[in-house]
Structure 1
Amino acid sequence: MQRTLLEEKKKRNIPVICVFVAIACLLVLMGFLDTFVLKRPEAGPPNPPAASVPLKAPELPTGAEVPQALNMGMPGAPISVTDLQATHSTAPEKHFTLTAEAASLALDHGAPVQAWTFNGSAPGPTLRVRQGDMVVVTLINHLSFGVTIHWHGVSVPNADDGVAGVTQNAVKPGQSYTYRFLAKDAGTYWYHSHQFSYTETTGGLYGMLIVDPASPQVHDDVDSSVTLHDWNGANNQTLLAINTTTGTVKTNARAGQWVRLRVLNSSSDQHTVTLLGAPFMVAALDGHDVNAPQWLNQTPLPIGAAQRYDLRFQMPRTGAVTLVTSANNRQYQSAPAVVLGQGTVPGKLPAVSTHWFNLDTYGQPAPDPITTKSHFDVNYGITLNNHMGDSLGRMGMVYTLNGKVFPQTGMIMLKEGQLVKMHLDNQSDLIHPIHLHGHVFTVLTHNGHALTGSPIHLDTINIQPHDSYDIAFLANNPGIWMLHCHNLLHANWGMDMMVMYDISTPYSIGRATGNFPD
């Protein structure tokens, strides 16, 4: 019956129906027809989030300039890196196993990130030991390419430094390797692969090492550690995560408790952080205590690649304390963040203060074995720069030390017992976090001016564009050590050199061995 009536209407007013059909077709195209006569079908499952960029196994450059087997040691030297191992002792042993394996990380942003991990997570397990312990770590490689572990900031014997082609061969798929070293110095340190460091560390092969002091000078009720890391997400979007989330890390802390928050930047770029909700102090830098640190309030902290800050504060009577980050150095962002205590990230976040943390004046002076007035046995000047050029047969932006790229950068030659001074001059428009293996150095001057606060001891100095620093250290750890930029892209494209004692090595860098330490 309904159909007969419609047919009669159609006969009486065909033009009107044609107009109606045309309008209906247009509405279908616009997605609004359900407003009139049609019911839109129920929505199906949402489209899955875009997958992150798959990780590609690292490969040596293929240019003719790639060495076949480059030996970094001193020919005929009486001592080999293989001789420079931890001596047997009665120290308590702490044993750990780290398995390099692939995993998919959620990071709370919706799309999984493909990663290379230690024990299935990135960061890998936090290794916690006591000052004076013998640390024994077995690396097992379940990946399809070689890996190592470098103990960043730890004064290990040279044989345990984890630099592929210099202190060991990369651990091949299915193989294992054991590191053994004494935890001499308390502090906040970390570990990461030093074979194809740019791809492997960026891809997730990193974690923290914390050495608790044998005789603590202060008491911390809460001791928490967090890691800042940049991930390559979908569409090559950079995702900053804290630990394993791009959201909020929650940490329990009660009113009145003293908190130590250890912050590591494991990415290659500088990040800016601060604490909201309580005054705080920078108790240690790169694991080394600051003398008489002053209280800070919402002070921006620039943390360079590979650097660590130990922040101490007391929880307020009410509310939470929040670690926030800034993406543009103008305004803090709500995520990622760390919330300590009961509460959430503040709804309204402050602008980034113009009064930044300044290690030149922070803390109070104290006697130190190395000062600007010390007699230095060796002085070296190193300029940092970049330009378009060639690195191992690859054309692109290269990053130079004294105008050259590795392995043409030469060597810094040392003898045990020498007091060594280096002048680091950043002539580029980029930030260069320069890391020295195997030693702790004292920062003497910044842009020609002596530091006026606490003695500052670091293993990585974050050098801003067109800044310069004088640093100095005692040559007290024989071996073959790297000096390089910890923006690992810069290291991969040339910004590396060796600090050499009279030591030989049986290992080589290049195509014949597959070792490439960046």
Structure 2
Amino acid sequence: MPAGASTIPITNLKAPATSAHMKQFTLTAENATVSFGSGINIPSWTFNGVEPGPTLRVQQGDLVVVNVVNHLSFGITIHWHGINIVNSADGVAGVTQDAIKPGQTYVYRFVTNDPGTYWYHSHQLADEETTGGLFGMLIVDPKTPTIHADVDYSVALHEWNTDNNQTVFTLNNTAQTLNEAARPGQWVRLRIAETSNTASTAPHLVTLLGAPFKVVSLDGHDLNAPQWLHETPLPIGTAQRYDLLFQMPAQGSVSLVTAEEKDNLHYQRYPSIVIGQGSVPAQLPPVTSWFDMTTYGQPAHSAITAQSHFDTSYSIALNNMMGTSLGRTGMTYTMNGKVFPNTGMIMVKEGQLVRIHLDNQSALYHPMHLHGHTFTVIAHNGQPLKGSPVYLDTVLVPPHSSYDIAFVANNPGIWMIHCHNFVHANWGMDMMLMYDNYSTPFNVGTQSGNFPD
């Protein structure tokens, strides 16, 4: 995608140089051996020597400046997942920048207009680099709080590959129990981010024991009139986020437990979180019907609905088949029967209302992520949502099902839309959303060393 004389380079799309409200951070990519408890020590790539990387906490409207120092032996980037920022700061190697080479420093500048729970990760060979540890969480507090919480915790779910080809599943920095403090009667907000590859493609299931809870936010965006849930399993696909709200009981603790990945039919004691004084119950409940975002909460006005007039519509069929991707032969993951970079582009003009039909024709789960935009989920399997309006940046499309999503093209540039299962993206399930009259000076491939999956 070479720059043309009549196009605007995306490098022109920049955040302000200064602001009255500015937060500055330094993230140093470096090797470290991380302990996850019970004698589990895993060599990993880290930001600032810890896993997950430091949680960056800012306020809505802040200008965020992040200095990234690369002490690793290979190129990296940072993508600020779910935050609608200027295109030049999106952190996609070969699209919005060159990968940050060993020994180099790179500065990201962006404004956090939308409050919520987000995360950051490498978007250069993410199958290796994010899975290997280059990730962390980013919390944007609202200028005017909409939800009261006395304590606020965040947790990242992550799967690690060990040297003997075993998988270690962790919550933050432990494969055992993470203990957090809260007093009886306090309101707790628990932010959960899925940062794993989820190799089986099925989402992890989590639930809360010891107190009823509400799902107050998905992908950083509040739901309308959420109802109380009781031990309901929450399916969380790669890159998705859930915010839970609950009140500590007068006695005892509250636990977050996960289901066994091999079948998602039984909960397990580890890894887990215990909030307050106590432990995970000795007897765990059965896994019941999964949480359904399409019927949860109450309807409310939404600027975009299934009845809106759309300026342009696209349909993307998701599938997999044996084939060739980037000179490799194996199982490929396709969009409309093709693999990146031959998947074509979604072409839009600024101001258009865009509808995308995601049709999963495969037997696998695909968490589909759109960069640079928040979309409205307008239909599931052809049926409009019955509950709260749902605004996401990543939608988990189950096997043999479909979602319709829509958004206003209000953030110029060149953006990716891709499956956030890292293996699927690495083997072809990527596409570009491109605004008219914009171009990039960066290139993808071996010569440039940029691999944006």
* Same-fold status (TM-score > 0.5): yes
* CA shift for structure 1 position 220: 0.6
Partner of 1:279: 212
Distance in structure 2 (CA, Å) of the matches to 1:387 and 1:246: 35
Partner of 1:27: none
| Residue identity in the other structure for 1:411 | M
Partner of 1:377: 311
From 286, 292, 295, the counterpart of 1:351: 286
* CA shift for structure 1 position 444: 0.4
Contact 1:73–1:503 (Cα < 8 Å) also in 2? no
Distance in structure 2 (CA, Å) of the matches to 1:314 and 1:340: 11
Distance in structure 2 (CA, Å) of the matches to 1:77 and 1:316: 63
| Residue identity in the other structure for 1:335 | Y
| Residue identity in the other structure for 1:284 | S
Contact 1:73–1:480 (Cα < 8 Å) also in 2? no
Contact 1:76–1:504 (Cα < 8 Å) also in 2? no
Partner of 2:294: 360
Partner of 1:237: 166
- Are 1:413 and 2:347 an aligned pair? yes
Distance in structure 1 (CA, Å) of the matches to 2:20 and 2:381: 43
Provide the aligned C-alpha RMSD in A. 0.9
Partner of 2:234: 301
Aligned residues: 446
Distance in structure 2 (CA, Å) of the matches to 1:248 and 1:242: 8
Contact 2:3–2:9 (Cα < 8 Å) also in 1? no
Which one is further off, 226-235 or 206-215? Answer: 226-235
Distance in structure 1 (CA, Å) of the matches to 2:179 and 2:389: 34
TM-score when normalising by structure 1: 0.85
Equivalent positions of 1:49-448 (< 5 A) are 72=1, 75-88=4-17, 90-269=19-198, 270-327=203-260, 328-353=263-288, 355-448=289-382
Structure 1: gaps spanning 5 or more residues: 1-71
Larger helix fraction of residues: 1
Distance in structure 1 (CA, Å) of the matches to 2:20 and 2:358: 38
**Secondary structure in 2 aligned to 1:126?**
strand
**Secondary structure in 2 aligned to 1:235?**
coil
From 395, 408, 412, the counterpart of 1:474: 408
**Secondary structure in 2 aligned to 1:198?**
helix
Contact 1:189–1:308 (Cα < 8 Å) also in 2? yes
**Secondary structure in 2 aligned to 1:490?**
helix
Contact 1:425–1:467 (Cα < 8 Å) also in 2? yes
When residues 239 and 445 of structure 1 are mapped into structure 2, their CA distance, relative to the original with a 3 A threshold, is same
Runs of 4+ in 1 over 2 A off after TM superposition: 72-78, 87-91
Partner of 2:389: 455
Distance in structure 2 (CA, Å) of the matches to 1:91 and 1:263: 31
Distance in structure 1 (CA, Å) of the matches to 2:191 and 2:306: 30
Structure 1 or 2, whichever has the larger Rg, is: 1
When residues 142 and 394 of structure 1 are mapped into structure 2, their CA distance, relative to the original with a 3 A threshold, is same
* CA shift for structure 1 position 217: 1.7
* CA shift for structure 1 position 218: 2.2
* CA shift for structure 1 position 505: 1.1
Q: Deviations over 1:408-454 (max 9, x none)?
A: 00000010000000000000000000000000000000001100100
* CA shift for structure 1 position 79: 1.1
Contact 2:76–2:99 (Cα < 8 Å) also in 1? yes
* CA shift for structure 1 position 106: 1.5
Distance in structure 2 (CA, Å) of the matches to 1:109 and 1:74: 53
Distance in structure 2 (CA, Å) of the matches to 1:405 and 1:217: 42
| Residue identity in the other structure for 1:495 | M
Larger strand fraction of residues: 2
| Residue identity in the other structure for 1:386 | N
TM-score when normalising by structure 2: 0.97
Partner of 1:46: none
Contact 1:102–1:116 (Cα < 8 Å) also in 2? yes
Contact 2:354–2:408 (Cα < 8 Å) also in 1? yes
Distance in structure 1 (CA, Å) of the matches to 2:217 and 2:368: 18
Contact 1:111–1:234 (Cα < 8 Å) also in 2? no
Distance in structure 2 (CA, Å) of the matches to 1:73 and 1:209: 33
Which one is further off, 82-91 or 127-136? Answer: 82-91
- Are 1:510 and 2:445 an aligned pair? yes
Q: Deviations over 1:143-197 (max 9, x none)?
A: 0000000000000100000000110000000100000111100000000000111
Contact 1:264–1:306 (Cα < 8 Å) also in 2? yes
| Residue identity in the other structure for 1:337 | S
* CA shift for structure 1 position 233: 2.0
* CA shift for structure 1 position 111: 3.4
**Secondary structure in 1 aligned to 2:376?**
strand
| Residue identity in the other structure for 1:362 | Y
| Residue identity in the other structure for 2:447 | A
Structure 2: gaps spanning 5 or more residues: none
* CA shift for structure 1 position 506: 1.1
* CA shift for structure 1 position 88: 4.1
Identity level (%) = 63
